[in-house]
Chain A
Amino acid sequence: MKQGVDTQKYWEALKEVMDPEFPISVVDMGLIYNIEKNGDELHITMTYTAVSCACMEWIEQDIQNRLLQEEEVRAVHIHVVWDPPWTVDRLSPEAREKLKYWGVSSK
Chain B
Amino acid sequence: MNEKQPGVHALIELLETIADNKYVLGDRLVEVGVSGPNLEATLASIAMAQGELGHARLLYNWCFDLRGLQGKKAEIYGQTGKAFTEVIGVNNWITLIAALYTTNVAIDIVLQSLLESNHPAVVSRIQKLMREQQDHLIYAKSWAYELRNEQGAIPRRFEQALNRMVSEVYTWLEKVEQKAELQASGYFPAHVKLTARFKEQLKEIAAQSLVQVK
Contact = CB atoms under 8 A, between A and B. Distances in A.
Interface string B37-72: 000000000000011111101100000000000000
Interface of A: 47, 50-54, 81-83, 85-86
A83 B128 CA distance: 8
A29 to B, nearest CB: 15
A82 B51 contact: no
B131 A52 contact: no
A18 B132 CA distance: 24
B127 A85 contact: yes
Contact of B124 (A52, A54, A83): A83
Contacts of B129: 51, 82
A81 B55 CA distance: 14
B54 A82 contact: no
Interface in B106-145: 123-129, 131-132
A82 B126 CA distance: 8
Nearest to A53: B54
A54 B46 CA distance: 13
Contacts, number: 41
A81 B124 CA distance: 8
Main DSSP-derived SS at the A contact region: loop
**Most chain B beta-carbon neighbours within 10 Å: one of A52, A53, A83, A86:** A52
Contact of B132 (A47, A51, A54): A51
A43 to B, nearest CB: 16
Given A52-B55, A82-B129, 4 more contacts: A50-B54, A52-B53, A52-B57, A83-B127
B131 A85 contact: yes
Nearest to B59: A51
Contact of A52 (B51, B125, B127): B51
Contacts of B131: 85
A50 B132 contact: yes
A82 B132 contact: no
A5 B127 CA distance: 32
A59 to B, nearest CB: 14
A53 B126 CA distance: 15
8 contacts: A50-B128, A51-B51, A51-B55, A51-B57, A82-B125, A82-B129, A83-B128, A85-B128
A53 B54 CA distance: 7
B124 A82 contact: yes
Contacts of A54: 50, 54
B124 A51 contact: no
A54 B52 CA distance: 12
A50 B136 CA distance: 14
Across the A-B interface, give the 6 residue pairs with the lowest CB-CB distance, nearest first. A52-B54, A83-B124, A85-B128, A82-B128, A52-B51, A51-B54
Contacts of A83: 123-125, 127-128
A38 to B, nearest CB: 18
B24 to A, nearest CB: 16
A37 to B, nearest CB: 22
Nearest to A80: B61
